[in-house]
Amino acid sequence: MAALITFTPISPASYLPLSLRKLPSFNPIQCLGTPQEDIQISSNGHVATSFPEKSVFTRPATSSPPPRPRRIILVRHGQSEGNVDESVYTRVADPKIALTEKGKTEAEECGWRIREMIEKDGAADWKVYFYVSPYKRTLQTLQHLGRAFERSRIAGMREEPRIREQDFGNFQDREKMRVDKALRLRYGRFFYRFPNGESAADVYDRITGFRETLRADIDIGRFQPPGERSPNMNLIIVSHGLALRVFLMRWYKWTVDQFERLNNMGNGNIIVMEKGYGGRYSLLMHQTEEELREFGLTDEMLSDQEWQKTAKPGELNYDCPMVNSFFTHFEDEGCRT
């Protein structure tokens, strides 16, 4: 016996296109009680989800931008097994190289130094938010550094592959690497590309992408907990020596020559970009001139950092020291250099 198949009559109104049907009115649906993501039915009958970070029109015209973080703190990982014994790179993949016991101690001490610095502000609502390279030594650094902060102080974290170590080409041949590093000194530290690896210029390109993401996060206050607009947020970037120097180069628009004069940070050490009086980040708000000279900053770079202390976001340094020194014919005009 054949199965009986029944059909439900279709209402004539259902033949109409969606744009002509009369839809019931309703209030926006809010997911998980967060007003930032409203789900509504658009005029063409489709579900439309609005995300404030993707549209400048979702923020009320009278709303001010979220406060910028008080600091961006750059942390180099603690001492790793590769820092002690370079032969480790020949048998362990670079992303899997771990910290030594000394490196774990350096990381934890670094966390307490950062906390002590933040607590000197005297603010009760301070928090930290982390960006970390996915390499084992940086993840371990963050785990030990994070012991200085209880959960309520940690606004969040993000693993960020673009701030990973410079790629030297998979498993390394120790003798060949010594030759390559000698060639790098002759060729130039910024442009020399390791065979099957990266140059600092390659790292610059991916750091540029990360910087734009970071700037967007700052502009929309992505790391701010729901409903909060605290000016006492501190961003902490846990990464590698060269990647952090390239980050500073990209942020402050340093030249290749200026980059090549910089010295590497010590393991478990920090460099602090602190918000100045006008809202921009300056290295001179926390570090001394002597400390920055030891890091490799020149007179021109220090002059610019002094300007950063009082400048506002979006302003340009029209008395740029580099312009004054690069064009030698200005000396005839009595231009200040």
Rounded CA gap, 226 and 269, in Å?
32
Q: Mark whether 333 is an active-site residue.
A: no
To the nearest 10 degrees (0 to 180), the angle between helices 136-145 and 101-119 is: 50
CB atoms within 10 A of CB 17: 8
Residue 192 neighbours by CB distance under 10 Å: 18
Kindly name the residue from 81, 106, 108, 165 that is annotated as catalytic: 165
46 given a catalytic annotation: no
Q: Which residues contact 334 (CB under 8 A, 6 or more apart)?
A: none
Say if residues 131 and 70 touch (Cβ distance below 8 Å).
no
Whole-number Cα distances in Å, 183 to 120, 186, 191, 194, 258: 46, 5, 11, 10, 20
Given the residues 77, 81, 108, 300, the one annotated as active site: 77
The label of the residue with tokens 């002690």 reads 84
Which residues are part of the catalytic machinery? 77, 165
